């Protein structure tokens, strides 16, 4: 982020969109850099045309590009650090150990984490420790800062995808938005669903009076479409069931609201299930919802298919209810076969990129050291051909001067006569050709 042209809070400010914000939505940009400006204010500014991107009006869902000029109306003070280069967040030894323990797999495009329950994905009111605040630990030296492309609830554990570069972030975001990503969750629910393999289609909207922190089923026509497929993996009598959930849409708290709406809340989800969401006995009161598996296309051509192990309280709950964890891996979605040719191409591209990076360090700036003298070239041997060309030129020798034409004679051949025919003589047609018929009256 480059320094703003005006820093006063009571004046119009202009910012230059940095490379770390390539492809980010306008409202997300404000949430990153102007946290004191709420979403309602941003929406009002956009609706009234007070926010401009390169001089043009912009909506809250406008995608920004690096280098664009963002005009922000007066209101709020600049947060510390916005005027200069972004400093990396210092991490403690405990946080570094936590960061390293969460990694399931990583490559040049993505980092896949196993988020523990109780750790928020992003910061908010009163939330200071979150995954987004730990991403500096994964950033390469002088490289872009990794960024989130989707999120999990604070009490939900499991697979969380992080993009390493702005390009891979835009790629993954398109597949999440276009439903190209397959997400599979495991959950323990209270009671037994009447159908072993079913579909829940109930529209959702924000519950009034909760500030958007809670969702509800809204069948008035104003709710957003939400669909969830579920499958019962096993059951513990009539007490609880172990289910597999596949969200076909990406609404906030969708799985939790849908399961509570059909009368089988997720174990430990007191927000939507109330006291009925807690089982008696030794079952943990933590929420038993786990993002087990994520399958999504990879920017380099193959498929990213990652499975996250269960947290301790979930694994203990399955064991106490008499379930076998291996039974849940008999999923409807078969494992994605890996094409060895794609892996070879990826390794070749990575090797080429490493070579280019090494050679880039060998380049010297102009004038840093005197350039080494170039070796003298050997003189080319001239072969003179004494053959005279049609234009009187001796090949291999200087061009001969043609004699000047005498004055008074016309240059070129006469108009209307073929070349080589003296002027004044009739032109004879070749034998065997018929004369042209006379032109008739018009």
DSSP secondary structure of 114-125: EEPTT-BSS-BT
User: Is 363 inside a domain boundary?
Assistant: no
User: What is the pLDDT at residue 142?
Assistant: 72
Report the domain count for the chain.
2
User: Is 426 inside a domain boundary?
Assistant: no
Q: Using one digit for the tens of pLDDT, what is the confidence trace for 56-88?
A: 888 888 888 888 889 888 765 444 334 344 566
Note if 234 is an active site residue. no
Q: How far is CA 347 from CA 53, 215, 305, 353, 408, in A?
A: 40, 45, 18, 10, 79
The average pLDDT across 227-253 equals 95
CATH number at residue 217: 3.30.2350.10
Burial of 217 (0-12, 13-18, 19+ CB in 10 A): middle
The average pLDDT across 289-310 equals 94
The answer to whether residues 63 and 181 belong to one domain is: no
Residue 328 has pLDDT above 80, yes or no: yes
The answer to whether residues 47 and 139 belong to one domain is: no
- Give pairs for 226-230: CB < 8 Å, separation 24+: 226/201, 226/202, 226/251, 226/254, 226/257, 226/258, 227/199, 227/200, 227/201, 228/199, 228/200, 228/254, 228/255, 228/258, 229/197, 229/198, 229/199, 229/200, 230/193, 230/197, 230/198, 230/199, 230/200, 230/259
User: Is 50 inside a domain boundary?
Assistant: yes
Final residue of a structural domain among 281, 306, 334: 334
User: Is 369 inside a domain boundary?
Assistant: no
Residue 141 has pLDDT above 80, yes or no: no
The average pLDDT across 330-338 equals 56
**Ramachandran sector of residue 237 (left: φ over 0; alpha: ψ -120 to 50; beta: rest):** left
Q: Using one digit for the tens of pLDDT, what is the confidence trace for 275-291?
A: 999 998 899 999 999 99
Out of 153, 155, 269, 305, the active site residue is: 153
CATH number at residue 25: 3.10.290.10
Q: Which residue has the higher pLDDT, 341 or 92?
A: 92
User: Is 276 inside a domain boundary?
Assistant: yes
The average pLDDT across 354-377 equals 56
The answer to whether residues 67 and 106 belong to one domain is: no
Using CA atoms, how far apart are residues 28 and 252, in angstroms rounded to an integer? 17
User: What is the pLDDT at residue 195?
Assistant: 93
Between vectors from CA 85 to CA 72 and to CA 360, what angle results, nearest 5°?
A: 125
Kindly report the number of other CB atoms within 10 A of residue 258's CB atom: 25
pTM value is 0.62
- For 107-193, where are the E strands, in sequence order? 110-115, 147-148, 157-163, 182-190
Q: Over the chain, what is the mean pLDDT?
A: 79
**Residue 77: CB partners within 8 Å, gap ≥ 6?**
9, 36
The answer to whether residues 211 and 324 belong to one domain is: yes
Predicted confidence band at 259 (pLDDT cuts at 50, 70, 90)? very high
The answer to whether residues 48 and 178 belong to one domain is: no
Residue 119 has pLDDT above 80, yes or no: yes
The answer to whether residues 62 and 130 belong to one domain is: no
Q: Which residue has the higher pLDDT, 401 or 255?
A: 255
User: What is the pLDDT at residue 229?
Assistant: 96
Q: Using one digit for the tens of pLDDT, what is the confidence trace for 146-193?
A: 989 999 999 999 999 999 988 888 899 889 888 889 999 999 999 999
Check if the beta carbon of residue 291 is closer than 8 Å to that of residue 160.
Answer: yes
Residue 301 has pLDDT above 70, yes or no: yes
The answer to whether residues 326 and 278 belong to one domain is: yes
User: What is the pLDDT at residue 54?
Assistant: 87
Residue 336 has pLDDT above 90, yes or no: no
User: What is the pLDDT at residue 15?
Assistant: 87
User: Is 249 inside a domain boundary?
Assistant: yes
Structural domain containing residue 231: 96-334
Burial of 103 (0-12, 13-18, 19+ CB in 10 A): middle
User: What is the pLDDT at residue 197?
Assistant: 93
Burial of 21 (0-12, 13-18, 19+ CB in 10 A): buried
Note the helical H segments in 153-264.
166-177, 254-261
User: What is the pLDDT at residue 234?
Assistant: 95
The answer to whether residues 262 and 228 belong to one domain is: yes
Check if the beta carbon of residue 17 is closer than 8 Å to that of residue 32.
Answer: no
The answer to whether residues 46 and 187 belong to one domain is: no
The answer to whether residues 17 and 105 belong to one domain is: no
What is the β-pairing status of strands 289-297 and 157-163?
Answer: parallel
Using CA atoms, how far apart are residues 187 and 166, in angstroms rounded to an integer? 33
Using CA atoms, how far apart are residues 246 and 223, in angstroms rounded to an integer? 20
Final residue of a structural domain among 315, 334, 353: 334
Predicted confidence band at 268 (pLDDT cuts at 50, 70, 90)? very high
Residue 435 has pLDDT above 70, yes or no: no
Q: Using one digit for the tens of pLDDT, what is the confidence trace for 391-421?
A: 444 445 455 555 555 555 555 555 555 555 5
Using CA atoms, how far apart are residues 30 and 5, in angstroms rounded to an integer? 17
Using CA atoms, how far apart are residues 155 and 116, in angstroms rounded to an integer? 8
DSSP conformation class of 167? H
The answer to whether residues 35 and 117 belong to one domain is: no
Predicted confidence band at 383 (pLDDT cuts at 50, 70, 90)? very low
User: Is 358 inside a domain boundary?
Assistant: no
Final residue of a structural domain among 318, 334, 350: 334
The answer to whether residues 65 and 110 belong to one domain is: no
The average pLDDT across 384-396 equals 48
Instruction: Report the share of the chain in percent with pLDDT over 90.
Output: 37
User: Is 381 inside a domain boundary?
Assistant: no
Instruction: Report the share of the chain in percent with pLDDT over 70.
Output: 69
């Amino acid at each position: 982020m480059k320094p703003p042209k005006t820093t006063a809070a009571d004046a119009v400010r202009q910012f230059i969109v940095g490379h770390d914000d390539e492809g980010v939505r306008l409202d997300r940009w404000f949430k990153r850099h102007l946290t004191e400006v709420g979403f309602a204010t941003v929406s009002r500014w956009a609706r009234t045309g007070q926010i401009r991107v390169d001089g043009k009006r912009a909506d809250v869902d406008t995608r920004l590009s690096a280098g664009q000029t963002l005009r922000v109306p007066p209101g709020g003070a600049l947060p510390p650090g916005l005027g200069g280069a972004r400093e990396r967040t210092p991490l403690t030894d405990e946080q570094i150990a936590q960061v390293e323990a969460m990694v399931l797999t990583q490559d040049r495009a993505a980092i896949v984490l196993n988020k523990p329950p109780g750790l928020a994905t992003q910061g908010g009111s009163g939330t200071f420790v979150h995954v987004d605040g730990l991403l500096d630990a994964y950033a390469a030296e002088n490289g872009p800062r990794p960024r989130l492309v989707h999120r999990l609830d604070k009490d939900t554990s499991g697979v969380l995808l992080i993009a390493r570069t702005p390009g891979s972030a835009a790629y993954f975001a398109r597949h999440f938005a276009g439903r190209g990503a397959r997400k599979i969750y495991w959950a323990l629910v209270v009671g037994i669903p009447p159908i072993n393999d079913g579909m829940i289609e109930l529209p959702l909207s924000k519950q009034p009076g909760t500030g958007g922190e809670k969702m509800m089923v809204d069948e008035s026509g104003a709710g957003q479409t939400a669909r969830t497929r579920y499958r019962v993996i096993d059951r513990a009598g009539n007490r609880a069931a172990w289910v597999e959930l596949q969200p076909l849409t990406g609404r906030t708290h969708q799985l939790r609201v849908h399961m509570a709406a059909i009368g089988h809340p997720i174990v430990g989800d007191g927000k939507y299930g109330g006291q009925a969401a807690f089982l008696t006995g030794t079952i943990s009161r933590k929420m038993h919802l786990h993002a087990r598996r994520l399958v999504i296309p990879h920017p380099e051509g193959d498929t990213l298919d990652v499975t996250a192990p269960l947290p301790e309280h979930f694994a203990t709950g399955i064991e106490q209810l008499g379930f076998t964890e291996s039974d849940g891996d008999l999923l409807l979605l078969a494992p994605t076969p890996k094409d060895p040719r794609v892996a070879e191409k990826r390794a070749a591209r990575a090797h080429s990129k490493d070579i280019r990076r090494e050679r880039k360090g060998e380049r010297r700036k102009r004038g840093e050291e005197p350039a080494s003298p170039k070796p003298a070239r050997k003189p080319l041997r001239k072969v003179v051909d004494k053959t005279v060309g049609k234009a009187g030129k001796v090949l291999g020798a200087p061009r001969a001067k043609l004699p000047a034409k005498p004055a008074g004679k016309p240059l070129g051949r006469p108009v209307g006569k073929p070349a080589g025919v003296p002027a004044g003589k009739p032109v004879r047609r070749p034998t065997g050709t018929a004369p042209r018929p006379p032109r008739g009256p018009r």
